[in-house]
Amino acid sequence: MKVSCLCLSFLLAICGLHWTPTTANKIFHFGSCEILMNVNEIRTGFAAIKANIVSMAMHFTDSEDTCCIIHHLLKFYVDMVFKHCETEDSWVNRKISSIANSFLSIKKNFRHCHQQTMCRCGEEATQKYKQILTNYGQLNVKNAAMKSLGELDNLLDWMEKAH
């Protein structure tokens, strides 16, 4: 009898684990509305999608063109994005300025490669960059700059994978 009670207790404990929400599920309060959701699951799914998009971007760019497209994107961020990314928070503004200075330094190194004609710009790279500029130009300047800043992690991921 003790063995069957022990087995029954063990079985109930295992079933209870499957019926209770996982620790990743949390109740979020949005005003008076309570929503149970698993943000970790959403983040994991998004990270997988983002990694796939970065891989596709690298796959469709000729490896010889990566130097060119990265050079153009650095120029884009320095000349167009960082100049229009000003927030109410001075700490955030200082961080943006710090990133902009890093990009200026990297851009300077790419300029040297460009001058030495070590950085080839094929048709695909040129077309991709023109498309980025077109998409950017369709938005309000400040909104476009903030959106581009929000996508900076994609560029950094792509640069790391291209390396």
> Per-residue pLDDT tens for 8-55?
444 444 444 444 444 578 888 888 999 899 988 888 887 777 776 666
pLDDT of 121: 80
pLDDT of 151: 86
35 three-class SS: strand
DSSP per position, 100-137: HHHHHHHHHHHHHHHHTT-S---HHHHHHHHHHHHHHH
CATH of 62-162, one of 3.40.50.450, 3.30.70.141, 1.20.1250.10, 1.10.1040.10: 1.20.1250.10
Residues of the chain by 3-state class (helix, strand, coil), percent to 5 = 75, 5, 15
pTM of the model: 0.67
